[in-house]
C-alpha cells in the first residue's frame, strides 16, 4: 500500500499526462512493485538502471512515474535521463553523414548521440557531483540552449536512464552481411552504415550499459506493433492543432522509411535482450503492461 503523498503525486501525473483512470491499476500493479525491486538493489554507490523500450512501449511515462514513486515512497533522490536528450548537435550529425554515410543525417541510431556528454553526466552523477542534464529540441532537430537544461544539484541515489537502444546487444559480422529491409538494401548496399552503427552500439555497451546495476526491458509483442504504435503517434501529432512540429508530420511512405532506420536493432533486441535483462515487462498490443518477469520469479499484474 502506497502512502497518501505517493497516491496524490501519481494521480496528478495521470491528470497532467491525460492518461485514462484505468492507469491507476498500472501504477498499483506494476510501477509500485517495480520501484520496490529497484530500491532493493540499492548500494553505497548510486544505482544505475538501464531501461530499454521501443517506441510506443511507454518507457518515458514509466520512468517519470518511477522517479516520483521512489522519491515519495522510498525517500531516495532520483535522476531521470533519456538517451534522446543526448543527440549530438545537428551540425555534428551532418558532418558524420558527410564523412561516414548519408543515413546518419537521421537522428536515432547509435553514433548520432554525444557519447562523451553521456559519459560526463553519468560520471558526475555516479560521483555524487552536481551536473547539468541536456535537453534536445525535436522541433528544431538540435540540442536545446543551455538555459533549457535541467540542474541536478543534489547527490542522487538512483539513476534511471531510458532509451530505445539502451543495453541493446550488438550483432556479429555475419549477421550484418544481409540487409533487413529496403532502406539497407537500397541505401546501404555495402553495409557501411549498419557496421558503423553496430560498432557504436558496442561502444555504448562498453562505456555505459555494461556498468548498469540493473536492466529493465519493456518488451513489445513484435516489430510490427512498434511500427503501428509509431504510426499512431504520427496520427495524433497530425490531429493536434497548433503543434510546434505540425510541419514535421510524416506520411505513410516517410514513416516506413524512418522506422526502417531502427528495424535491425529493434528486432535483434526483441529476440535477445529478454534473456539478458534483469526485469522484463511484457507490453500487450493495447499498450498494457501484463506483468513483471524477474529472473526466476514472475508476479503478474491484474
- Summarize pLDDT for 59-84 with one digit per residue, the tens: 999 999 999 999 999 999 999 999 99
Q: How confident is the model at residue 301 (pLDDT cuts 50, 70, 90)?
A: very low
Residue with the three cell numbers 529472473? 295
- Over 90: is that where the pLDDT of 250 sits? no
**pLDDT tens for residues 127-163?**
999 999 999 998 899 999 999 999 999 999 999 999 9
Q: How confident is the model at residue 242 (pLDDT cuts 50, 70, 90)?
A: low
pLDDT of residue 245: 47
Give start and end residues of each alpha helix (H) in the chain: 4-16, 23-26, 32-40, 59-73, 90-99, 115-126, 173-176, 182-187, 192-207, 223-239, 252-276
pLDDT of residue 248: 65
**pLDDT tens for residues 195-211?**
999 999 999 999 999 99
Give the domain ranges of the chain.
44-55+86-285
Cα(39)–Cα(282) distance, rounded to whole angstroms? Answer: 21
pTM exceeds cut of 0.75: yes
**pLDDT tens for residues 80-135?**
999 999 999 999 999 999 999 999 999 999 999 999 999 999 999 999 999 999 99
Q: How confident is the model at residue 246 (pLDDT cuts 50, 70, 90)?
A: very low
Q: How confident is the model at residue 247 (pLDDT cuts 50, 70, 90)?
A: low
Handedness of CA 34, 271, 233, 89 (dihedral sign): positive
pLDDT of residue 296: 64
pLDDT of residue 240: 63
| DSSP element (H, E) containing 88 | none
Pick the CATH number of 44-55+86-285 from 3.20.20.80, 3.40.50.300, 1.10.287.130, 3.30.565.10: 3.40.50.300
pLDDT of residue 249: 74
**pLDDT tens for residues 186-195?**
999 999 999 9
- Over 90: is that where the pLDDT of 1 sits? no
Residue with the three cell numbers 484505468? 22
pLDDT of residue 236: 76
Contact assessment for residue 168 and residue 268, using Cβ atoms and an 8 Å cutoff: yes
Cα(263)–Cα(255) distance, rounded to whole angstroms? Answer: 12
pLDDT of residue 241: 47
| DSSP element (H, E) containing 78 | strand 78-82
Cα(28)–Cα(22) distance, rounded to whole angstroms? Answer: 10
Amino acid at each position: 500500500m502506497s502512502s497518501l503523498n505517493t497516491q496524490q503525486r501519481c494521480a496528478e501525473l495521470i491528470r497532467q499526462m491525460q492518461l485514462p483512470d484505468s492507469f491507476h491499476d498500472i501504477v498499483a500493479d506494476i510501477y509500485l512493485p517495480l520501484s520496490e525491486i529497484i530500491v532493493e538493489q540499492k548500494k553505497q554507490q548510486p544505482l544505475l538502471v538501464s531501461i530499454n523500450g521501443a517506441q510506443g512501449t511507454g518507457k518515458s511515462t514509466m520512468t517519470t512515474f518511477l522517479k516520483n514513486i521512489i522519491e515519495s515512497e522510498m525517500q531516495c533522490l532520483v535522476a531521470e535521463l533519456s538517451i534522446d536528450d543526448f543527440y549530438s548537435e545537428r551540425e555534428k550529425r551532418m558532418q558524420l553523414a558527410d564523412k561516414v554515410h548519408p543515413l546518419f543525417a537521421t537522428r536515432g541510431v547509435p553514433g548520432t548521440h554525444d557519447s562523451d556528454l553521456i559519459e560526463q553526466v553519468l560520471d558526475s552523477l555516479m560521483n555524487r557531483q552536481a551536473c547539468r542534464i541536456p535537453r534536445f529540441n525535436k522541433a528544431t532537430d538540435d540540442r536545446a540552449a543551455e538555459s533549457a537544461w535541467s540542474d541536478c544539484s543534489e547527490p542522487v541515489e538512483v539513476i534511471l536512464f531510458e532509451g530505445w537502444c539502451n543495453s541493446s546487444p550488438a550483432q556479429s559480422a555475419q549477421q550484418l552481411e544481409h540487409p533487413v529491409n529496403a532502406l539497407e538494401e537500397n541505401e546501404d548496399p555495402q553495409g557501411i552504415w549498419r557496421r558503423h552503427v553496430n560498432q557504436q552500439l558496442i561502444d555504448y555497451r562498453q562505456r555505459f550499459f555494461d556498468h548498469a546495476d540493473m536492466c529493465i526491458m519493456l518488451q513489445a509483442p513484435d516489430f510490427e506493433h512498434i511500427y503501428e504504435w509509431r504510426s499512431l503517434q504520427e496520427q495524433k501529432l497530425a490531429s493536434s492543432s497548433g503543434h510546434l512540429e505540425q510541419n514535421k508530420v510524416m506520411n505513410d511512405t516517410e514513416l516506413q522509411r524512418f522506422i526502417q532506420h531502427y528495424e535491425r536493432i529493434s528486432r535483434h533486441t526483441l529476440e535477445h535482450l529478454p534473456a539478458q535483462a534483469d526485469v522484463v515487462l511484457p507490453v500487450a498490443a493495447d499498450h498494457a503492461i501484463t506483468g513483471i518477469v524477474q529472473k526466476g520469479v514472475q508476479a503478474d499484474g491484474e
